[in-house]
Amino acid sequence: MSANFDPFETLLSVIDWSKYSPEGWLDQYANWVDERNDGIERYTSPCADFLQDSVAQHRCINKFGACNISDGEARTVMRLILDLGGFDADCIVCIFESKMSYRKAARVLHCSVRDVQRGVDFGLGWISGIMGIKDDNRGRRNT
């Protein structure tokens, strides 16, 4: 194996990113996490901490459907969220992985709904750029 080999870069190049929109990939990742609800390798954010405080609240999360991505695809999406980092990643985790409304995410993150919307829009734009996907319907979910 070459010293320059990066499995993440390899996965980025071989995944068919056209299967889903950026939101679709994040929804699929959230379903993957939900199906493997053992807490391994979860992105740590205020939303994740909030949900871990109450198992009952976690059980009330609505699923958007079955997980239709592989472990490798899910771990690549997770790595994209980790690479994004900071407030924008927290917004992505609250809205997609934790299935919160913008209002609830704003309360958890102690900011305005508009700040959460900006974080999601920026995060989706950044992730779209990495995936090489053009999506004109970014960022607007249940406000």
Cα 143 from Cα 141, distance rounded (Å): 6
For tokens 């390899």, the residue is 10
**What does the pLDDT profile of the chain (143 residues) look like in tens digits?**
555 666 667 778 888 999 999 999 999 998 888 877 654 444 445 555 555 443 333 333 434 567 889 888 998 999 999 999 899 999 998 898 888 899 999 999 999 999 999 999 999 999 999 888 654 444 444 44
- The full set of domain ranges for the chain reads 19-131
Is residue 43 within 8 A of residue 81, CB to CB? The reply is yes
